[in-house]
Amino acid sequence: MKNFMIAFLLFSSFLMAPARAELPDFKTLVKHAAPAVVNISTIQKRPRQGSSSFDFQGPNGEKIPEMFRHFFRLPGPEQAPDSPSHKAPQSLGSGFIISVDGYVLTNHHVIKGADQVLVRLNDRRELEAEVVGSDERSDIALLKIDAKGLPVVKFGDSSKLEAGEWVLAIGSPFGFDHTVTAGIVSATGRALENETYVPFIQTDVAINPGNSGGPLFNLNGEVVGINSQIYTRSGGFMGLSFAIPIDVAMNVSTQLKSDGFVTRGWLGVVIQEVNKDLAESFGLDKPAGALVAKVLPNSPAEAAGLQDGDIIIQFDGQPINLSSDLPHQVGKVVPGRNIKLNIIRSGRSEKIRVKIGTLADGDAPQKISSRTSAVPESNRLNVIFAELTEQQKKKWNLRNGIAIDKVLNGAGANAGLVAGDIITMLNGKRVESIRQFVSLINSLPEGRPVPMRIVRRGSPLFIPLKLGKN
């Protein structure tokens, strides 16, 4: 029995040896890559109202959800005297050198609002940096320091990253310079709320305040991303980290270097996700694509003939599986280029060509107007309607539709309609009046969802409507 156990242990060790041998050894990677990673601190001579981005408050003092946080070192109490002549607390981040003559990449939020930016090199030299340009939409900033013969990073191809691949981060979490953490790619092409122009790389690499702007490496020692955000409920690392793909970052930095600003493509549509119920209402086999809730006036989409209710399933040869896939595909197109769109319209597949425009800052959101009149009407939705006034049409930039004054128990409430909604389209037909709408409702089949377009607080939205028996 003893001999059997010895033999079993030897055999088990033999089987496990190859598995251990396959684990990555990061020592050589770190030795070659670390010299190009820098620490970045900013000094603000004018003190800010909030001590740091970890205050978790909005611009008007309102509490905001503890979700995606940008990373800054928290200042100590001795650093923040409320005196206009005193330098405000330093906020720390990371960055990396991309050229021997001193160009450095980091995050926009690391240097935002700074009066002075300092870069500390691996050899402990500290140099003041010039902000060449900064782009808030992609959270990328390009700096320049006055130095020559600097160590630089190698660039990889972030489009080739796959889930499960080993990656490594080097940065300065909480001010601890050149801290190395490793993990795997959890997912690629992640869309985050309010971050429509970046298809993020999700990893489980430990990222904390101070890592922001630092590089994410693959096993070849090539930079594939810039560590930017985390998902957290505590303010610290919880296993969900997000990095900006290096191909996005380099496209932005090239424009910042040559022009000082970033130009992006613009299609001119408001889109929404296609869920299971909407897919069924539009006659699709599965939920996929970007549903056009509104075509903006005087936009490239309007000029190309795109319509409300179209579903974009392919853009310039690239499949659009989620609505979040579309913005970053459009944004990276050079304005003026002609692009082919594959769409689904009224259940049929069509192709149209659109000349991409230039993205500009959007208008401020509008507030919903108060109701002025009501017209009760017996209908299968069990809601009370009102005709739109000219003032309402002008305010919401509408040509047609009817408004909802009250929602009673019934199909309308089940569909999610609320008072103040404006119905502009039903099952592919424009809604022109209450009488015409009631006629459309009465002609709909039972039990099969159909798409209904509404405008809610100025924002267009498609919802599926399913009617029961009269």
- pLDDT digits 0-9 by tens, 173-197: 988 889 999 999 999 988 876 667 8
Alpha helices in 144-213 (DSSP H): none
> What single-letter DSSP state applies at residue 160?
G
> If one looks up domain 265-358 in CATH, what number appears?
2.30.42.10
The answer to which of 68-72, 163-167, 450-454 has the lowest mean pLDDT is 68-72
CA distance 116 to 240: 31
Check residue 16 and give its pLDDT.
53
- Contacts of residue 98, Cβ cutoff 8 Å, sequence gap at least 6: 104, 105, 152, 153, 155, 253
Q: E strands of 176-282, at which residues?
A: 179-192, 195-203, 215-217, 222-231, 241-245, 265-266, 269-273
Average of pLDDT values for 8-27?
61
Please list the active-site residues.
109, 139, 212
Longest CA–CA separation in the chain, Å: 94
pLDDT at 400 over 80: yes
> What single-letter DSSP state applies at residue 159?
G
CA distance 62 to 81: 24
Find out whether 225 and 215 touch, Cβ atoms under 8 Å.
yes
CA distance 51 to 49: 7
pLDDT at 1 over 80: no
Is the whole model's pTM more than 0.75, yes or no?
Answer: no
Check residue 377 and give its pLDDT.
42
CATH 2.40.10.120 domain locations along the chain: 26-262
Angle 140-146-150 (CA atoms, 0-180°, nearest 5)? 80
Q: How confident is the model at residue 435 (pLDDT cuts 50, 70, 90)?
A: confident
Find out whether 225 and 243 touch, Cβ atoms under 8 Å.
yes
Find out whether 158 and 225 touch, Cβ atoms under 8 Å.
yes
Beta strand 422-426 pairing with 140-145: unpaired
Average of pLDDT values for 3-22?
54
Check residue 195 and give its pLDDT.
66
CA distance 460 to 464: 14
Q: How confident is the model at residue 364 (pLDDT cuts 50, 70, 90)?
A: very low
Side chain identity at 424, as an amino acid letter? T
> What single-letter DSSP state applies at residue 277?
H
- Contacts of residue 234, Cβ cutoff 8 Å, sequence gap at least 6: 66
CATH 2.30.42.10 domain locations along the chain: 265-358, 383-465
Q: How confident is the model at residue 407 (pLDDT cuts 50, 70, 90)?
A: confident
| CATH architecture assigned to 383-465 | Roll (2.30)
Any idea which fold 26-262 has?
A: Thrombin, subunit H (2.40.10)
